[in-house]
Structure 1
Amino acid sequence: MNMNRRAFIRNAAGTATSAMAFPTLIPASALGKNGFVNPSDRINLAFIGAGNQAENDVKGFLPDKRVQVTTICDVNRKSTGYWDGKMGGREYLMELVDDFYTRENGKTYKATKGSLDFREVTDRKDIDAVAVLTPDHWHSIPVLMAAKAGKHMYCQKPLSLTISEGRAMSDAVKKYGVVFQTGSQQRSGPEFLRTCELVRNGRIGKLEKVVCGLPGGTPDFGKTGQLTAPTAVPKDFDYQTWLGPAPEAPYCPARTHVNFRWNLDYSGGMVTDWGAHHLDIAQWGIGTDHTGPVEVKNARAKWSKDPVWNTAVEFYFECIYENGVQLIVGSDAAQAPRGITFHGSEGQIWVSRGSYKVTPEKIDTTVIGDQETRLYKSDNHYRNFIDCVISKKPTAAPAEIGHRSVTIAHLGNIALLLNQDLKWNPEKETFVENFAANQLRSRVMREPWGELYRKYKV
């Protein structure tokens, strides 16, 4: 092949829209000798969002020699207020990237670019892939624009702010044939793979019930929870763009950065924050990656009384699938132990990060045969994304799977807000004969961002 890797990736984007259409390509290992990849052959990766999760994800991608992190985009230059009150922002991450490449190359590296506007990133021809790591309310528009521009994407979970936005994102990824990885990294954990293969192959008998135990509350991750009074916007923070499609609201530190997740204008609280992870594994184990429940019932919640934070601090709801499996989601550890518990007619499995427990233990000694159901195996979520950008094969957590998983969390929040039992049609993605619930599948977007969303929605 005379074509370098970046040109190959750029030309291949959009050529495949289904797993059956992906061609067999040269493996990544064949494109570099002794682990070395020419800079011209590396995948140029830009980050849209430089907050809490972005630092983890930058550190996850940097060691991959097939990747060159070239650009950091964020509306905040540099400040505290991120995880545990620590530093974040575009210049903070630019320095982190430059320091890494300085150590790697043995000479000073100051080439990482900074950007205020994500549209500059999606428009650039020299960028092959983007990581969308913004707050939830800022996922859909960059994803839609990047998809049309042919950029492959790694997008953090929860995938979407609303059901409608998630559907639009998944449809755009499919239409433009780009590779997409939802940041549901538990799909790349061996304990979750093992658990779901045991369940899917009937080792615990007929699956009857799945219990997802999520944290409750609104922890002050950014150490800004007391700063709820309106105040002047910091000069290096474009707060109006940060609000973007969300409603107008006065600036205060408690509203932004890592603590955004406790306000329903920007996220869904613990129901979506942890629900996007554990409900994703529930879907995987049940075998419903491309569908969802048909009913949500018995929803109850206590809501935050904070001046700025308004998400559920305690919650419980049940989902019923067409095959009769019951999914219970709750924040009370006595009712729903933290993690995911699969209950079958002949045993059960509890799984959480780093461990799982099978009852009876002898079930775990069984071997899953080659002719049985074997699930997607990935041992590194970041590397899996880059592998798939090169091979054009599906990732461990494609857009449609990410959308279907977080939809369950959205269904739960809608049932909690309305305090109603709801019937759901997962094929049409509409509530059955419930106007109020159907209105909550989407949100009105503040202009001019609503117009931009409608322009790129497929």
Structure 2
Amino acid sequence: MTNVRLRRREILRQAGSAALLAAGGTIGFPGIARAARLAPSEKVRIAVIGCGGMGTRHIEALAVNPNCDLAAVCDCFTPRYENAVAVVKKLSGKAPDGYQDFRRVLDRADIDAVFAPLPDHWHPLMTILGCEAGKDVYVEKPASPTVAEGRAMVDAARRYGRVVQLGTQQRSMPIFQEAVRLIHEGRIGKVTSATCWVGVNGTRVGFTTGPVPAGLDWDLWLGPAPWAPYSADRQFGFMGCQDYARGGELTNWGVHLMDIVHWGIRQDRPLSVQAVGGLHRGSAGSENYETVDAVWEYPGCTVTWEQRHKNEYNGRSYGIKFQGTEGVLLVDRGSYEVHPESLGIKRVEGEPERSWANPPHHNNFFESVRTRKPPVAEIEQGHRSTTPLLIAGIALKTRRKLNWDAETETFLRDEAANRYLSRAYRAPWHL
């Protein structure tokens, strides 16, 4: 990556961020899009591309959401989109159109926005192609498998004036909104450290190959990733393979939790990262470490990641701990609590999480589609929340402390580490 390319990317980033953060500003766009003409009461016409587990959760919620019209579903595995058509028809009384090739969806002028709950390796390109096609995009987290791809997503959103929301739905959950408000009010003093914790990565042993199932376009499923013979382990366990996802739980749960840390500490640009991990039970063939510990330096705050066996804080198997000069706040999707009791802040229980596909987060996206104002999980922020986990994965590979320049999004004086910041695309796909 040359200095010229870095300067160009930074100019684009600064110009886009300045436009987005202008007081009272909206997301502008070249040309006239249907979304610009939507009345406040008019439904947003959408398509869902990716009808697997998370895609089905989105489809179930979107099929009955009065703010949208689910007009099309798509998956390169025919049985999945056929099932999605049946699900939508059962819930809404109206069957959407079904497609195997997403390009037929993007070609439709009547589609305002696309949802992209796809394997991670497709997130960047689907977002960019959606923006190029004049669609607003809701893309699942993590934003991207590499830092360079995440920046390309932000650049595309700016270049084409599109609304892009990341699926970090905790931003739309009252329990986190209330917890962060307490932190920002100074109720636990100045936060000097924060910790995210989860359990371990699941073990994996190799990839068993076999014939491509009927109805699956395996070449399209692979997309920009390296060619590989069909394996059900790859298709259904993509999170365990670095061709498709980077780090397992590090980038799966990690982006959710780090996003709240950034919100709480009002910082999203780490200065350095260190990480260690291990496959302490063997797990031959695993591509991700079972246990991982990472530490990032931020201005005025240290942040740690704990991925361990039997990992709990006060009975919580995952969550975030903010440590302030006056107290400690622990929060997950179910509740938050503050210690010591002398601070007089009672434990608060949130509403049960009914679906991973959070309807308030969907509605925030639809509001942005209509108003052109940035959503609560706008792609620049989503990219910033993904980046620390990606560079922690690089620190695991290089086995050393890495110093990070958040302006150029490169490691300082470490070209070997910088090679991991992007990945080659398999022809004919390209950014």
State the TM-score, normalized to the length of structure 1. 0.79
| Correspondence for 2:127 | 143
| Correspondence for 1:21 | 25
Give yes or no for the alignment of 1:322 onto 2:326. Answer: no
Deviation digits for residues 38-83 of structure 1 (CA, Å, limit 9, x no counterpart): xxx42110011111101111122222223110111111012xxxxx
- Local SS of the residue matching 1:356: strand
**1:213-224 alignment to 2 at 5 Å?**
213-218=197-202
- Local SS of the residue matching 1:58: helix
| Correspondence for 2:245 | 267
Instruction: List runs of 5+ in structure 1 lacking aligned partners.
Output: 1-15, 33-40, 79-88, 103-108, 220-224, 367-377, 454-458
The one-letter code matched in structure 1 to 2:429 is W
| Correspondence for 1:371 | none
Alignment counterpart, residue 390 of structure 1, candidates 367, 370, 395: 370
Counterpart-to-counterpart distance in 2, 1:444 and 1:304? 32
8 Å CA contact 2:171, 2:376 repeated in 1? yes
Report the RMSD for the aligned CA atoms in angstroms. 2.4
**1:86-105 alignment to 2 at 5 Å?**
89-102=80-93
- Local SS of the residue matching 1:440: helix
The one-letter code matched in structure 2 to 1:431 is F
8 Å CA contact 2:51, 2:84 repeated in 1? yes
Alignment counterpart, residue 247 of structure 1, candidates 201, 212, 226: 226
Give yes or no for the alignment of 1:238 onto 2:217. Answer: yes
| Correspondence for 1:433 | 413
Residue 356 (structure 1) shift: 0.7
- Local SS of the residue matching 1:158: coil
Residue 303 (structure 1) shift: 8.0
Give yes or no for the alignment of 1:229 onto 2:208. Answer: yes
| Correspondence for 1:67 | 68
8 Å CA contact 1:205, 1:345 repeated in 2? yes
1:310 to 1:393, Cα distance in 2 relative to 1, 3 A: same
Identity %: 35
Counterpart-to-counterpart distance in 1, 2:342 and 2:87? 47
Residue 387 (structure 1) shift: 1.5
Counterpart-to-counterpart distance in 1, 2:189 and 2:177? 18
| Correspondence for 1:56 | 57
The one-letter code matched in structure 2 to 1:346 is E
| Correspondence for 1:349 | 329
Counterpart-to-counterpart distance in 2, 1:190 and 1:183? 16
The one-letter code matched in structure 2 to 1:327 is V
Residue 21 (structure 1) shift: 2.5
- Local SS of the residue matching 1:193: helix
- Local SS of the residue matching 2:104: helix
**1:31-430 alignment to 2 at 5 Å?**
31-32=40-41, 41-78=42-79, 89-102=80-93, 109-110=94-95, 112-218=96-202, 228-257=207-236, 259-268=237-246, 269-288=248-267, 291-302=268-279, 309-323=286-300, 325-332=301-308, 337=313, 338-361=318-341, 363=343, 365=345, 380-430=360-410
Counterpart-to-counterpart distance in 2, 1:245 and 1:298? 28
Instruction: List runs of 5+ in structure 2 lacking aligned partners.
Output: 1-18, 28-36, 347-357
Residue 245 (structure 1) shift: 1.0
The one-letter code matched in structure 2 to 1:242 is W
Residue 17 (structure 1) shift: 5.0
Residue 194 (structure 1) shift: 1.4
1:415 to 1:53, Cα distance in 2 relative to 1, 3 A: same
- Local SS of the residue matching 1:312: coil
Residue 300 (structure 1) shift: 3.2
| Correspondence for 1:82 | none
Counterpart-to-counterpart distance in 2, 1:336 and 1:417? 27
- Local SS of the residue matching 1:274: helix
Counterpart-to-counterpart distance in 2, 1:149 and 1:363? 53
Residue 253 (structure 1) shift: 0.8
Counterpart-to-counterpart distance in 1, 2:128 and 2:298? 30
| Correspondence for 1:456 | none
The one-letter code matched in structure 1 to 2:61 is G
Counterpart-to-counterpart distance in 1, 2:338 and 2:58? 32
Deviation digits for residues 109-165 of structure 1 (CA, Å, limit 9, x no counterpart): 34x111122122222101000001110000111111111222111111111111111
Counterpart-to-counterpart distance in 1, 2:283 and 2:234? 11
1:172 to 1:31, Cα distance in 2 relative to 1, 3 A: closer
Residue 340 (structure 1) shift: 0.3
| Correspondence for 2:13 | none
1:336 to 1:165, Cα distance in 2 relative to 1, 3 A: farther
8 Å CA contact 1:147, 1:173 repeated in 2? yes
- Local SS of the residue matching 2:290: strand
| Correspondence for 1:10 | none
Counterpart-to-counterpart distance in 2, 1:208 and 1:130? 40
Residue 389 (structure 1) shift: 1.1
